[in-house]
């Protein structure tokens, strides 16, 4: 019997995943969570073979949770189930020792098949996603440039970003200018869009 932990913040989707996997005779859902901050504790208590994680979890994101599982419970393999198929997310997932990366719009049977294959020690990653990730590459941004561009996503002014990140407005403008130049956007709005589409934010 393959023991599975599911972490998904949307109740309806989590319920559907649990119901779907519960139909499989060789799979047992041993924990279901909505907050990424609870993943490690629940996994240590329930000892799943596979953790099915959404990337976009509150508390601790799914990729950070996967990395924590790898450090503290390496026998539990992580499978990311996400609507965020950006290449940057796949590269981050691989660095976090994720064994599977399945998009939420995949056929329903892909999940059970993915769980079985990951439990058996295989990698389950769409080859097309891998090709796009390799083509797109790593983010060219420094961590601080990423922070500033992320803070600019919702149209915040340089002054507002400076207050939020404890920087001077001039420093924020420099980081934004560097980020826009590296990404190749014409302005901050376009730079944010390019970076978000690549999964760098």
Q: 10-residue block means of pLDDT along the chain (201 residues)?
A: 96 94 96 96 97 93 94 96 75 88 85 96 82 70 90 90 92 91 86 81 78
Do 54 and 15 lie in one domain? The reply is: yes
Do 106 and 9 lie in one domain? The reply is: yes
Give the pairing type, strands 50-53 and 27-33: unpaired
For 153, the domain range is 143-198
Do 161 and 179 lie in one domain? The reply is: yes
pLDDT, position 163 = 92
pLDDT, position 107 = 85
What is the number of domains present in the chain?
2
Do 182 and 119 lie in one domain? The reply is: no
- Which one, of 100, 97, 101, lies nearest residue 87 by Cα? 101
What are the residue ranges of helices labelled H in 80-168? 87-95, 109-119, 127-136, 143-151, 158-165
């Amino acid at each position: 019997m393959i023991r599975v932990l599911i972490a998904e913040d949307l109740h309806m989707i989590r319920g559907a995943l649990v119901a779907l996997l519960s139909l499989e005779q060789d799979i047992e859902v041993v924990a279901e969570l909505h907050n990424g901050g609870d993943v490690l504790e629940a996994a240590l208590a329930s000892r799943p073979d596979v953790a099915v994680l959404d990337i976009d979890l509150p508390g601790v994101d799914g990729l950070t949770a996967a990395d924590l599982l790898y450090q503290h419970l390496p026998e539990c393999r992580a499978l990311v189930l996400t609507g965020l198929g950006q290449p940057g997310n796949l590269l981050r997932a691989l660095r976090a020792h994720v064994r599977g990366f399945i998009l939420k719009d995949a056929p329903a049977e892909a999940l059970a098949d993915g769980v079985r294959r990951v439990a058996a020690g295989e990698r389950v990653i769409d080859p097309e996603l891998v090709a796009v990730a390799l083509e797109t590459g790593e983010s060219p941004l420094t961590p601080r440039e990423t922070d500033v561009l992320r803070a600019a996503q919702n149209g915040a002014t340089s002054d507002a970003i400076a207050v939020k990140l404890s920087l001077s407005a001039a420093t924020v403008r420099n980081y934004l200018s560097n980020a826009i130049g590296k990404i190749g956007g014409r302005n901050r709005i376009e730079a944010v869009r390019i970076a978000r589409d690549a999964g760098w934010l």
